[in-house]
């Protein structure tokens, strides 16, 4: 468990207190207690961080791919060695179960680092032979100093997902994690220098989105912004980047449907929907918070699902049997409860859950909400359309595939979808018709880091993963050589 302490920024390989001397509080969601104080950084801190990154750029980008990979792989080794400690830090800062932080978050941090260390080395560049007119070959050049801005739900998982490809392609980085979950990034930075990443190649500034994040986005020396977070913030970042014509990768919110057809395997579907709906307290952008089920299966599915959800153990994230920990903050808890309240007013039927929870013991003041399943809401209910980002899942029924597709595509988002059926033709047809960047058939969150990841509509712009990340963090240059040269 992380101790209560005062964090600094990491600038040029050193811990630097905020220039303005101001700090923000970081609370532990499971207990409501103060966990740490973090720099309330502003434009002066960002200026120092960007200058340190720019200074480090010639040396870091001049290293060979193999040299860069050695540092990133060493960092992966260190993450694996210290996974237990890092998971404790992440669990305390986010409220997620300790076991989840270890098995999902830290395993993925290590995988991200190893994957991009390898992928960058195996990334071919192209050549086009023009015969007598010569040869074209394509270079992939680093951009320079790039900004990485990440949310609170998967703090180090998502930061390492951006950091590894940015570094492997030769860029220098200024990162800003969410002010709600700053601790694991601080721990990673400490390890990164030990792993051989040179001072200044990676810089970390803590603070609020409005002050520190905005200063980073607005800095004229930033050459690209890789952002994961809410759609509203994503739009502001896109607007700030547009006049400078710099690249943005925007991984935004979701309101993901699970389409359950009448022939679905009920056991497999129920198990899958519980995972898809409630992992990380429903605070995963990919969570399927809308279940659309064929009317012939609705009753059976609803009963089985309500029983399974009611059986989830909510409470102290440190306990091994805990399935659901705390939500990220008191504000977020109130937001989620507000949607449940609205459901009651709209005539929705709460099938299980529906309340805040005060576990016994050290977590009495934590921000817990029971896993909640709601049916019978009107089609235009805000609960069907807005991202709640908590343990609240709604159920609607459909009579035909066309109706299922209409419901699935009726929201502004288009991040992910799951399809539950035993019929391959249905699965493939529906996967083609649903508006989502990612579709899983009879499963959820099966990830292959080589594949494109990202959403359509209000869920984002661009794709991450595999070559898509490597392309984002590089500029493409074509060189023509005359024949006989």
Q: Which residues are annotated as catalytic?
A: 251, 285
Contact between 228 and ligand NAP per CB under 6 A: yes
Contact between 253 and ligand NAP per CB under 6 A: yes
Contact between 252 and ligand NAP per CB under 6 A: yes
For ligand NAP, the binding residues in 256-295 under the rule CB under 6 A are 285
Residue closer to ligand NAP (CB basis): 151 or 325: 151
Q: Which residue has the tokens 């059986």?
A: 311
Calculate helix-pair angle for 83-94, 183-194, nearest 10 degrees: 160
Contact 141, 448 (CB under 8 A): no
**Structure token digits, residue 466:** 């595999």
Contact 291, 394 (CB under 8 A): yes
**CB 164 to ligand NAP: min, Å:** 16
**CB 454 to ligand NAP: min, Å:** 7
Contact between 213 and ligand NAP per CB under 6 A: yes
Q: Which residue has the tokens 């949310």?
A: 151
465: which residues sit within 8 A by CB, 6+ positions away?
449, 450, 451, 452, 453, 454
Contact letters for ligand NAP, residues 305-324 (x by CB under 6 A): --------------------
List, edge to edge, every strand of the sheet that includes 34-39. 5-6, 34-39, 23-27
Residue 347's φ and ψ, nearest 5 degrees, are 90, 10
420-to-108, 142, 295 alpha-carbon distances in Å: 26, 42, 14
Tell me the number of residues near ligand NAP by CB under 6 A.
33
**CB 370 to ligand NAP: min, Å:** 21
CB atoms within 10 A of CB 375: 20
For ligand NAP, the binding residues in 141-160 under the rule CB under 6 A are 149-154
Contact letters for ligand NAP, residues 445-474 (x by CB under 6 A): ----------x----x--------------
CB atoms within 10 A of CB 19: 16
Segment near ligand NAP (CB under 6 A); pick from 28-36, 203-211, 342-350, 417-425:
203-211
Alpha-carbon distance of 387 to 411, in angstroms, equals 10
**CB 171 to ligand NAP: min, Å:** 19
Contact between 251 and ligand NAP per CB under 6 A: yes
3-state secondary structure of 322: coil
**CB 462 to ligand NAP: min, Å:** 11
- The binder of ligand NAP chosen from 107, 236, 238, 356 (CB under 6 A): 236
Segment near ligand NAP (CB under 6 A); pick from 92-100, 107-115, 211-219, 377-385:
211-219
**Structure token digits, residue 387:** 């991202």
**CB 21 to ligand NAP: min, Å:** 19
Task: Quote the radius of gyration of the chain (alpha carbons, Å).
Answer: 23
Segment near ligand NAP (CB under 6 A); pick from 43-51, 75-83, 163-171, 250-258:
250-258
For ligand NAP, the binding residues in 74-133 under the rule CB under 6 A are none
Contact between 34 and ligand NAP per CB under 6 A: no
Q: Is the dihedral of CA 379, 431, 111, 160 positive or negative?
A: negative
Residue closer to ligand NAP (CB basis): 30 or 285: 285
**CB 239 to ligand NAP: min, Å:** 10
Of 445, 101, 403, give the one whose Cα is nearest residue 256.
445
Residue closer to ligand NAP (CB basis): 48 or 352: 48
Segment near ligand NAP (CB under 6 A); pick from 35-43, 248-256, 357-365, 439-447:
248-256
Of 386, 381, 319, 323, give the one whose Cα is nearest residue 347.
381
Contact 216, 45 (CB under 8 A): no
> What DSSP letter does each residue of 239-286 carry, written as one string?
HHHGGGT-EEEEE----EEEEE-TT--HHHHHHHHHHHHHGGGG-STT
Segment near ligand NAP (CB under 6 A); pick from 170-178, 258-266, 268-276, 352-360:
170-178
Interface with ligand NAP by CB under 6 A: which residues?
Answer: 149-154, 176-180, 208-210, 213-214, 217, 228-230, 233, 236-237, 251-254, 285, 387, 389, 415, 455, 460
């Amino acid at each position: 468990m992380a101790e209560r302490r005062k964090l600094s920024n990491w600038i040029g390989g050193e811990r630097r207190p905020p220039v303005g001397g101001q700090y923000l509080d970081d609370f532990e969601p499971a207990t409501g207690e103060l966990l740490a104080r973090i720099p309330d950084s502003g434009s002066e801190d960002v200026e120092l961080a960007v200058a340190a990154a720019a200074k480090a750029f010639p040396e870091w980008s001049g290293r060979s791919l193999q040299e860069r990979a050695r540092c990133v792989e060493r960092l992966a080794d260190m993450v694996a060695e210290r996974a237990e400690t890092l998971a404790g830090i992440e669990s305390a800062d986010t409220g997620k179960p300790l076991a989840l932080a270890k098995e999902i978050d830290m395993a993925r941090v290590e995988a991200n680092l190893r994957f991009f260390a390898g992928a960058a080395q195996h990334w071919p560049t192209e050549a086009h032979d023009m015969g007598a007119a010569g040869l074209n070959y394509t270079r992939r050049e680093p951009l320079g100093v790039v900004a990485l801005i990440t949310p609170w739900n998967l703090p180090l998982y998502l930061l390492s997902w951006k950091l590894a490809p940015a570094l492997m392609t030769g860029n220098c980085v200024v990162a800003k994690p969410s002010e709600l979950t700053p601790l694991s990034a601080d721990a990673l930075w400490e390890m990164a220098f030990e792993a051989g990443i040179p001072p200044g190649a990676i810089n970390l500034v803590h603070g609020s989105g409005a002050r520190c994040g905005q200063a980073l986005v607005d800095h004229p020396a930033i050459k690209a912004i890789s952002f994961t977070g809410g759609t509203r913030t994503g739009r502001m970042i896109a607007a700030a980047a547009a006049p400078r014509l710099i690249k943005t990768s925007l991984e935004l919110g979701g309101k993901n449907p699970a389409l359950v057809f009448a022939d679905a395997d009920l056991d497999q579907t129920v198990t899958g929907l519980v995972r898809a709906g409630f992992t990380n307290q429903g605070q995963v952008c990919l969570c399927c918070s809308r279940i659309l089920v064929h009317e012939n299966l609705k009753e059976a599915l609803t009963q089985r699902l309500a029983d399974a959800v009611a059986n989830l153990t909510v409470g102290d994230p440190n306990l091994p049997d805990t399935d659901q920990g705390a939500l990220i903050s008191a504000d977020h808890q109130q937001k989620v409860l507000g949607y449940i309240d609205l459901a009651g007013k709209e005539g929705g039927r709460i099938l299980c859950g529906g309340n805040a929870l005060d576990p016994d013991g050290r977590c009495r003041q934590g921000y817990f909400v029971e896993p909640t399943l709601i049916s019978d809401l009107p089609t235009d209910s805000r609960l069907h359309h807005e991202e709640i980002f908590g343990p609240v899942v709604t159920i609607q029924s459909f009579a035909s595939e066309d109706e299922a597709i209409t419901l699935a595509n009726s929201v502004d988002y288009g991040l992910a979808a799951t399809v539950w059926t035993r019929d391959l033709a249905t699965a493939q047809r529906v996967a083609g018709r649903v508006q989502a960047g990612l579709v899983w058939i009879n499963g959820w969150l099966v990830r292959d880091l080589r594949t494109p990841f990202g959403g359509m509509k209000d869920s984002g712009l661009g794709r991450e993963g595999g070559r898509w990340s490597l392309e984002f963090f590089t500029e493409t240059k074509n060189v023509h050589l005359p024949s006989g040269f």
